[in-house]
Amino acid sequence: MLAVFVVLCGVCASRVSAGPLNDRPVIGILTQETEDEDMKPLGRTYIPASYVKYLESGGSRVVPIRLNQSQAEYEKIFKSINGMLYIGGAVDLVSSDYAKAAHIFFQLALKANDMGDHFPLWGTCMGFQLLTVMVAGENLLTNTTAENLTLPLNLTAEAWSSRIFQNFPVKLLKAVSQEPLTGNFHHYGVTEETFKGNKKLQQFFSILSTNVAENGAKFVSTMEGRWYPFYGVQWHPEVNRFQWRPSFQFPHSSNAVQVSSLLSEFFVNEARKSLHHFPSPEEETAALIYNYTPMYVGGFTAYEQCYFF
């Protein structure tokens, strides 16, 4: 009887928050190689400030994590933080320094959750794509271009009983399926057909929404782990509140803002279930992104501000 209980609990660990909550969560964001020619002179790696504000607005603090560190250094950071957000961008999903570091944290997160140590991951846009590559063990992306395009989500039946959308008022869930509240800025994605045809992806994630790309391909736009607190959106919830360039289609309606707020709060609440912490308050303070100053890049990028490292 006991063995059965233990096995079941291992499986449902990510769904049940039994223990105490951490009201001082810290979420890690990996810096990413600067690929944009205009931004390159400003720093070798960067993090757009919109992702940082997104997490801060949900009640978290953010730690930037540099690339090219050792496994031991990443393990130390992993034990200090309560979740990780994989940002959008444009680097190779397998061979870049970013992908390599992301992979290490993914493996650590899998192992921790298996042991009942709740550690959430969130992937946005390229982060979503990266999650599919890491789970499937292969790159299943094809052309699903939706560039500078706002869309309503085509919600699946699972969306209505999902964790991601659990705190959405029914009115807002209806709105997100009818109004163009999600900003898309991608060229690649995983089609619904590929996703459902891949055993690993299909077993790992529930598909919560799909959308149709400019070329007619139907791609998965929102997913959540069936057993792990891992979440992915092919669209960009952070732009709804934190990006404003007039030349891009960023949704800023009241409903769009609420979608963005509720998702950031949802993910930060997942991070509250993690009791990881820095060895000392001094080390925590030194690691926080508050030690860095973002730069205004609004004149020549889609972002308003970026941190450079």
10 burial level (CB within 10 Å; 0-12, 13-18, 19+): middle
What is the smallest separation between the CB atom of 194 and ligand NAG, expressed in angstroms?
A: 14
CA distance 256 to 236: 11
> Both tokens of residue 111?
């192992």
Binding mask 144-173 for ligand NAG (x = CB under 6 A): -x--x-----x-------------------
**Using an 8 Å Cβ cutoff, are 220 and 154 in contact?**
no
What is the smallest separation between the CB atom of 95 and ligand NAG, expressed in angstroms?
A: 11
What is the smallest separation between the CB atom of 295 and ligand NAG, expressed in angstroms?
A: 18
* Catalytic site includes residue 12: no
Q: What is the CB neighbour count within 10 angstroms for residue 198?
A: 18
Q: What residues have CB less than 8 Å from 161, skipping those under 6 apart?
A: none
**Using an 8 Å Cβ cutoff, are 284 and 277 in contact?**
yes
Binding mask 30-69 for ligand NAG (x = CB under 6 A): ---x----------xx---------------------xx-
Please work out the total of residues on this chain that contact ligand NAG, with binding judged by CB under 6 A. 18
CA distance 28 to 34: 18
Q: What residues have CB less than 8 Å from 248, skipping those under 6 apart?
A: 148, 183, 185, 239, 302
> Which is catalytic among the residues 9, 12, 118, 125?
125
* Catalytic site includes residue 187: no
301 binds ligand NAG (CB under 6 A): no
Binding mask 191-210 for ligand NAG (x = CB under 6 A): -------------------x
What is the smallest separation between the CB atom of 13 and ligand NAG, expressed in angstroms?
A: 31
129 burial level (CB within 10 Å; 0-12, 13-18, 19+): buried
What is the smallest separation between the CB atom of 91 and ligand NAG, expressed in angstroms?
A: 10
Binding site for ligand NAG (CB under 6 A): 33, 44-45, 67-68, 97, 143, 145, 148, 154, 187, 210, 212, 214-215, 247-249
Residues involved in catalysis: 125, 236
